């Protein structure tokens, strides 16, 4: 059942506590749509309204819109914690996700890549390291692994081309 309390904005979007739009550079109150608070994940107070709001991305510093309908999805479909606000624009969010997955894949496979003889896996890890390196300063340990893998790939490919030279001359 719906609770009524002035504190949490029951009497209009402008009465909503500021922390629901923490760091917003603009809030377009005309776009407010009423929330279905029974679907929300909250303890102290629900988010009574979803309102188009503009934020600055913490990474690229561009402004982006966090729309009322996106908020509805976050809080009613994904059941995100009610105090959540976005720190990153959609592009940066996607990049962060991709970097995380590259890093996870690196962590999962690097030992196998270093110790095994699977050249394709070695190449894959070198590619992942290149992606990670574009976006952050990597610890020496990873850079050292990169050097070892590149050396291993070079060696394996030299041997492979030596072999094909041999077979070519023996025909
Ligand atoms: Zn961004």
| Predicted pLDDT at 167 | 52
Residues 22 and 75 in one domain: yes
| Predicted pLDDT at 28 | 97
| Matching residue, tokens 């890890």 | 125
| Predicted pLDDT at 127 | 96
Q: Which residue numbers in the chain have pLDDT < 50?
A: 1-2, 9, 170-171
Please tell me the distance between residue 87's alpha carbon and the centre of ligand 1 in angstroms: 9
Residues 60 and 79 in one domain: yes
Contact criterion met (CB below 8 Å) for 106 and 136: no
| Predicted pLDDT at 170 | 46
Last residue of a domain, one of 37, 57, 88: 88
Q: Kindly state whether residue 131 falls inside one of the protein's structural domains.
A: yes
- Mention every residue, 6+ apart, whose C-beta is less than 8 A from residue 81: 41, 42
Residues 80 and 124 in one domain: no
pTM of the model: 0.68
Please tell me the distance between residue 25's alpha carbon and the centre of ligand 1 in angstroms: 15
Residues 69 and 110 in one domain: no
Please tell me the distance between residue 92's alpha carbon and the centre of ligand 1 in angstroms: 4
Please tell me the distance between residue 113's alpha carbon and the centre of ligand 1 in angstroms: 33
Range of the domain at 109: 92-170
Please tell me the distance between residue 133's alpha carbon and the centre of ligand 1 in angstroms: 19
Q: Which two tokens stand for residue 83?
A: 């105090």
Q: Kindly state whether residue 1 falls inside one of the protein's structural domains.
A: no
Looking at the structure of the chain, the number of domains it has is: 2
Query: Around Cβ 133, how many Cβ atoms within 10 Å?
Result: 13
Residues 109 and 124 in one domain: yes
Q: Kindly state whether residue 12 falls inside one of the protein's structural domains.
A: yes
Please tell me the distance between residue 120's alpha carbon and the centre of ligand 1 in angstroms: 33
What is the Cα–Cα distance from 90 to 88, expressed in whole angstroms? Answer: 6
| Predicted pLDDT at 171 | 47
Please tell me the distance between residue 91's alpha carbon and the centre of ligand 1 in angstroms: 6
Residues 81 and 51 in one domain: yes
How do residues 127-160 score in pLDDT, each as one tens digit?
999 999 988 889 999 999 999 999 999 999 988 8
| Predicted pLDDT at 6 | 52
Please tell me the distance between residue 79's alpha carbon and the centre of ligand 1 in angstroms: 24
Please tell me the distance between residue 68's alpha carbon and the centre of ligand 1 in angstroms: 19
Q: Kindly state whether residue 76 falls inside one of the protein's structural domains.
A: yes
Residues 21 and 80 in one domain: yes
| Predicted pLDDT at 81 | 95
Residues 43 and 115 in one domain: no
| Predicted pLDDT at 165 | 58
Please tell me the distance between residue 93's alpha carbon and the centre of ligand 1 in angstroms: 7
Q: Which two tokens stand for residue 94?
A: 């996607």
| Predicted pLDDT at 164 | 65
Vertex 109: Cα angle to 104 and 111 (nearest 5)? 125
DSSP 25: S
| Predicted pLDDT at 50 | 97
């Amino acid at each position: 059942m719906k609770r009524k309390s002035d504190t949490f904005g029951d009497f209009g979007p402008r009465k909503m506590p500021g922390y629901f739009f923490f760091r917003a550079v603009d809030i377009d109150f005309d776009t407010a749509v009423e929330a279905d608070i029974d679907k929300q994940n909250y303890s102290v107070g629900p988010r009574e309204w979803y309102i188009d709001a503009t934020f600055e991305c913490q990474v690229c510093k561009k402004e982006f819109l966090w729309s009322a309908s996106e908020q509805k999805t976050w809080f009613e479909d994904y059941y995100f914690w009610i105090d959540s606000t976005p720190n990153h624009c959609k592009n940066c969010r996607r990049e962060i996700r991709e970097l995380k997955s590259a890093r996870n894949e690196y962590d999962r496979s690097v030992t196998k890549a270093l110790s095994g003889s699977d050249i394709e896996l070695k190449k894959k890890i070198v590619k992942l390291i290149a992606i990670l390196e574009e976006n952050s300063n990597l610890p020496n340990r990873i850079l050292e692994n990169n050097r070892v893998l590149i050396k291993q790939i070079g060696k394996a490919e030299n041997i492979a081309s030596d072999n094909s030279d041999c077979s070519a001359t023996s025909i």
